[in-house]
Amino acid sequence: MMELITDPQVWILLVTLSAIEIVLGIDNLVFISIAVSKLPLEQREFARKFGIAVACITRIGLLLTLAWLAGLTDPLFEAFGRGISVRDLILILGGLFLIVKGALEIREQLKGEDDETHGTAGKVTASFGAVIAQIAVIDIVFSLDSVIAAVGMAGDYVPVMVCAILLAVTVMLIAAQPLGKFIDANPTVKMLALAFIVLIGVYLLLDGVGLDIPKGYIYGSMGFSAAVELLNLWAKRNAMRQRGEYTPPVDEPRDPMPR
């Protein structure tokens, strides 16, 4: 153990794996934020933390079954001109689930259905158990590739991989509530997040059938879209301030000087 602590290569590996887990965890956070928005306000924070805890347990559980994990890439049958493995089936089914989930949520947004009305006025659109079940299923889909990538990079350094997962989960716990509130408070951001879910679903589906798309393209397009949306929100807020219509949230400090 002391050799691991004093080896600089291990620390570099830990930082690298943690960064990968955090980036891949963004998908998970977006889905969790959308899923828990169907719950009453008083249940959302606990559901977020519970969902992230499930993600942590799932990833560590996969790491501790390395022999089984290695067998997931063995072909089971032939389809689409290639061998389909358990991993491929998980990605295909998970991708289809995200596409359907995202499309249905977008449809609800276009119909003008309000989550706050559904979640707090007595009409709950989803039960706590159903939301946690959805999060657990998607945790497996999102965790699979990240854990396989970690195993490929770290080899037998299981303690390092576990530490990387715990660090990533800590970051997710810190970011989950602010991200969830931000998405809930901005309908256009929520629509963008739903579009991201559909995009990730398409990516997983294509990956499952053997069409390799570099993840950099996916995250690059998501990052660019998010940056444009943030500029739109910034411009909208400044315009409202100039008209005297902007009221800062409770947790946002008010400007000492009027604009």
Question: Which band of pLDDT confidence, cut at 50, 70 and 90, is reported for residue 255?
Answer: very low
Two tokens at 199? 């995009």
**E-strand stretches of 28-104:** 75-79, 82-85
Predicted pLDDT at 117: 43
pLDDT tens for 168-190 read 888 888 888 888 888 877 788 88
Q: Count Cβ atoms within 10 A of the Cβ of residue 98 and give its class: 0-12 exposed, 13-18 middle, 19 or more buried.
A: buried
Predicted pLDDT at 118: 45
Q: Count the residues in the chain.
A: 259
Two tokens at 83? 């061998």
pLDDT tens for 77-124 read 777 677 777 778 888 888 898 888 888 888 888 886 544 444 443 344
241 vs 231: CA distance, rounded Å: 15
Q: Give the max Cα distance, the chain.
A: 68
Q: Tell me the pTM.
A: 0.69
Average pLDDT score over the chain? 75
Predicted pLDDT at 154: 58
Contacts of 146 (CB under 8 A, 6+ apart): 20, 21, 24, 59
pLDDT tens for 4-63 read 566 667 677 777 777 777 776 777 788 888 888 888 888 888 888 888 888 788 777 777
